[in-house]
Structures are given as structure tokens and as C-alpha cells.
Amino acid sequence: MLAFLTLIFGCQLIGELIAVATGWPIPGPVIGMALLFIGLLVRGGIAEGLGSVGDGLISNLSLLFVPAGVGVMQHAKLIGSELVPISVALVVSTVLAVAVTGVFMAWLGAGGKAADTGPGRQG
């Protein structure tokens, strides 16, 4: 179990090192997650121990949001002064995420071909 937890954090560390060394605007943990994903693809699956460690992390995920919530509360005054731009950004990004997800799911449902389900057409 400790080996798999070390693997997860090691991938995060490597991702952080890559992000800092290259100056890419991608968070290190995202790069680390991609590296872990590539490793799982090469291996051909998820080891049982890695799956159980991942399940344990997910079951306690709410605890990981406490530091972020404290940070938000420390900047409540700044957030209050920038409430309109923050709200607009949240609404626009949510609508875009839902739209892109819908288009992508339609594309996947069509077998990767352009979905043409207009009136009078069978999709």
C-alpha cells in the first residue's frame, strides 16, 4: 500500500518538477496524473493495490478541500470586490464545459464520426 501511495506522490513530484523546469502553464499534479495514466496504459491495467489506494484517497477527498476553503475565506474581501468578474467567469466556464462535454459525448456516441441527427435524419 505504501509503495502505491509513493508511486502516486512520485508521479505528482515528477510532474511538478517538469512544470517548474519547462515553465509550462500546466499544474504539476496534472502532468503527474498524465504520467501515471501513460504508465497504466503501458502496463495494461491498474494493479489491485493501486486501485485500493485510489479508492481510499477518493473516499477521503472532502478532507483535501479544507485547506482550499480556508484559503478562500482568507481572501473573502478580495473575492467580494471582484464578485462580478468571478461570477461571470464561473457561469461562462460552466456553460462551455457542459457544451463541450455534450458535443464530445455525441461524437463518441456516433463512433467518432460527425453526428448528424438533424430533423428527418436517423442518428
The CA distance from 97 to 95, in Å, is 5
Instruction: Give yes or no: residues 9 and 55 share one domain.
Output: yes
For the chain, what is the domain count? 2
Residue 81, domain member (yes or no)? yes
Cα dihedral sign, 7-32-102-88: positive
- The predicted-structure confidence for 20-53, as pLDDT tens digits, reads as follows 999 988 999 999 999 999 999 999 888 889 989 9
Q: What pTM was estimated for this model as a whole? A: 0.57
Rounded Cα distance, 57 and 64, in Å: 9
Least confident among 2-6, 26-30, 64-68, 105-109: 64-68
* 56 shares its domain with 88: no
Given a contact cutoff of 8 angstroms between Cβ atoms, the answer to whether 50 and 57 are in contact is no
